[in-house]
Amino acid sequence: MSVTLTSKRHRVADVGDAIEFCFAQGWTDGLPVIPPTEDRVGAMLEAARLDGKQEVGFIAHRSVSVTAEKVAINAVMAGCKPEYMPVVVAAIEGIADPRWSYHGPGTSTAGAGVLMIVNGPIARALDINSGDNLFGPGWRANLTIGRAVRLVMRNVCGSIPGTLDRGTLGHPGKLSYVIAENEAESPWTPLHVEHGFRPDQSTVTVMAAEAPHQFYNQLSNTAEGILTTLCDDMRISGNVMGQPHYAIVLAGEHMRTISGDGWGKKEIRQFVFEHTQNSHAHLKRTQRMAGAIQPGDETRLRPLVASPDDILVVAAGGRAGAFSVYIPGWSSSRSSQAVTKEVKRGFSD
């Protein structure tokens, strides 16, 4: 397909000058970027079968139209391969969805990252990590796809730290925060199938999220034992008021123990929902809820999320080690919802 680009061109002497020019313009996340030459940007658009002028998403609160060309430019800068472009596009569609509510997680002092969970054949085809060192370095697809999304947020949507992005602390997931579900070894229904997609469809789920909170349990050989440890940690995790979602990522040892006990994702969600509730009295004593303790507050309970279905359960992480994580969602009266989008090549597929 023929590619016509409309973005402004800049001439520089060499690659080194191009990298420094991007730094000088404020287009980077603090790391060097790949210069977005016309041929590289064109290859991105061709891989996704998109015309550069096509709108990928519209950020209503910012009145910003995110075009395929702008996404491609930032995907190049992030170091993506062209075949990653459809995943990046799906993630941008997700954060532009009104249900994700860009303005809150994109500007809040709470410093949310964009957690991206990839499901379906595309995760295997692109070697998106679902195993060892799940949230760590070492996988180009994970690191560059997430970085591309954040660069779009910075360079197209204006979410620049200190201006629109007002995160008090932030966390490393704001650089890149991408995992795949380990569908090959999981005994459970994949996340995207739970959300209404076919197993052979590829998807990205985007969730405004805090950093991963790791928990450890090597003693229990039952589902209830492991999840009791998890719930005790989640219940007092700090941000226990107003989360729209929590994600629970169960790694190999815990996954095998819990599934071996006959527990599925539905049972996990229900147990966690019921065992992470705090009394109003506890929340008031610990200054998380306003007001004086009233009669009945010792037994009046508040759940972490509105419904068990607001807990995302994902099988991923290394096969060895009695560790798993939970990830609190961005907190603001449960206004930002996790959104799942299909990964497509072109908008007409």
Residue 4 domain-assigned?
no
pLDDT tens digits for 64-81? Answer: 999 999 999 999 999 999
pTM (2 d.p.): 0.95
Same-domain check for residues 320 and 190: no
Same-domain check for residues 139 and 71: yes
How would residue 349 be classed by pLDDT, with cut points 50, 70 and 90?
very low
> How many CB atoms are closer than 10 A to CB 185?
13
Same-domain check for residues 135 and 282: no
- Around 201, how many Cα atoms within 13 Å sit in the side-chain half-sphere? 19
Strands 178-180, 113-119: pairing kind: parallel
Question: What is the percent of the chain where pLDDT is above 70?
Answer: 97
Give the list of residues 6+ apart from residue 331 with CB closer than 8 angstroms, or none: 110, 239, 241, 242, 243, 244
Same-domain check for residues 61 and 198: yes
Residue 6 domain-assigned?
no
Residue 5 domain-assigned?
no
Q: Computed from CA positions of residues 151, 132, 257, 211, in that sequence, does the dihedral angle turn out positive or negative? A: negative
pLDDT of residue 1: 52
And the tokens for 40? 């590289």
Residue 65 domain-assigned?
yes
For residue 114, what are the domain limits?
13-210+337-349
Q: Which of 204, 212, 191 is nearest to 96 (CA)?
A: 204
pLDDT of residue 334: 63
Residue-level length of the chain: 349
Residue 125 domain-assigned?
yes
Domain count, the chain: 2
State phi, psi for 152 to the nearest 5 degrees: -60, -45
And the tokens for 315? 């099988």
Give the list of residues 6+ apart from residue 258 with CB closer than 8 angstroms, or none: 223, 226, 227, 250, 268
pLDDT of residue 332: 59
CA 288 from centroid of its chain's CA atoms: 26
Same-domain check for residues 99 and 241: no
* Helices 85-96/68-78 angle, 10° precision: 120
* Residue where the block lists tokens 């990522």: 249
- Are the CB atoms for 268 and 336 separated by under 8 Å? no
Rounded CA-CA distance 292/130 in Å is 46
Same-domain check for residues 195 and 220: no
Task: Reply yes or no on whether the pLDDT at 30 is more than 50.
Answer: yes
Same-domain check for residues 187 and 205: yes
State phi, psi for 336 to the nearest 5 degrees: -105, 115
Same-domain check for residues 205 and 217: no
